[in-house]
Structure 1
């Protein structure tokens, strides 16, 4: 591995001292110096942070000598995430069509959802899925239905299906948009998205249930994004009424009625 060599190369390429590089990574200088001098090895978590900060694929950071690449190659590598995130490199989206050559909405059942990250581009996998049609959706866009598990996103409950619209350009996705995000590690997740791709090359995913903390996903881990358009559920949302407020409203209505009756009797 070329971790120490590459750390030194990246630091000098930016014209930084060890102290400045250490501060960028949230380390003290002596700890960082130990990594460059091969006295210690950075943790996997720190390596992921370095790869994300420097916009270098982790595999490249570990296994290739960056000092043997041209400046043009490194610039292209560090900008590759933007090409991917913006959809400039066309995302190949496999889909199912009916006999009228109209795209169907594939329904990913909970039973087969675990295999979606490996089968989402496989025609055989998709053709075996059930499909549905929702006539109120645009025929010019691509939709897919995903299963929801757990209690992290009320009022969408466990066992529901979220229908999402395929997002080609991730950079233009507005923050606070509910989306199905398909990642290499976590598979299918339904969350509110804070778009930090321009600033940090990550999405911050949040639940509506406050007991679940937000977490971040690096752009390199994202396979697909589907913007929420609808959901299908066998259960009505459980809306808890404030009995005290409801009682006060009823008393106010009764008082208004009594006042109206008194005015009529005069």
Structure 2
């Protein structure tokens, strides 16, 4: 396989694109993408420039460098357009793994998150329902996000564009000051501004971190826990009476507001 073909395949997968999605973006047929990646054909120079521009890599590097995770890690972590380089690993069938960051590895992850060798040594698994996107799992600690218990594993989807962060949703945030935390977001992200982090447990006060300290953002998509839910308690006469009283008060307020 030539350098060009391997680079196209590697960078396309790094972007999380199928051959069809990449072909649609570049404006060519999917069959051509397959031919380029299988080294059955080479893109013409004008198309090569377009592909290199799309991946924000110089044509010279695209032609001469075997681009991989280590090469990207050695390059700038953030390009002019805000693309953040993420280290991943894949299984034998070329599916992206879900690497897990257990509690004992949280401190090390702060230093090794951009190191492909470190990431490759993390525990990993695969969930077939998460076929699109890049995911990572983080074990949380403490009671700040009750009812999720300490030891719960949060599966998060990588957020490349932090402008997509939505208030009131929950995320795993990796920052230079706080390390790995799982919190609810209190405001939209703006470059070089503070991000408000809120605990679901109201006994913990919200706090802010500087945007420049944030290293990675993962949107919570699922959780894994060994703490199974307790059965719902049977209603008592006292609880039913209280519920009826609450409903009556709500009806009275609604009637008063309509008068």
Question: Shorter chain as normaliser: what TM range?
Answer: 0.5 to 0.7
Secondary structure of the structure 1 residue equivalent to 2:181: strand
**Cα displacement string for residues 16-69 of structure 1 (whole angstroms, at most 9, x for unaligned residues):** xxxxxxxxxxxxxxxxxxxxxxxxxxxxxxxxxxxxxxxxxxxxxxxxxxxxxx
Contact 1:87 1:170 in 2 (8 A): no
Give the structure 2 partner of residue 95 of structure 1: 88
* Whole-Å separation in 2 of the counterparts to 1:180 and 1:239: 29
Give structure 1 stretches of 5+ with no counterpart: 1-83, 250-266
Question: Which runs of structure 2 are paired with 1:1-266 in the superposition (5 Å)?
Answer: 88-137=81-130, 139-198=131-190, 201-238=193-230, 241=233, 243=236
Give structure 2 stretches of 5+ with no counterpart: 1-76, 243-259
* Whole-Å separation in 1 of the counterparts to 2:142 and 2:237: 31
* Whole-Å separation in 1 of the counterparts to 2:123 and 2:116: 13
- Count of aligned pairs between the two proteins: 167
- Call closer, same or farther: CA 1:246–1:122 in 2, change over 3 Å: same
Q: Which has the higher helix share?
A: 1
- Call closer, same or farther: CA 1:92–1:200 in 2, change over 3 Å: closer
TM-score (norm 1): 0.57
Cα-Cα RMSD: 2.8
Shift of 1:100: 1.1
- Call closer, same or farther: CA 1:184–1:136 in 2, change over 3 Å: same
* Whole-Å separation in 2 of the counterparts to 1:153 and 1:86: 34
TM-score (norm 2): 0.58
Shift of 1:89: 2.3
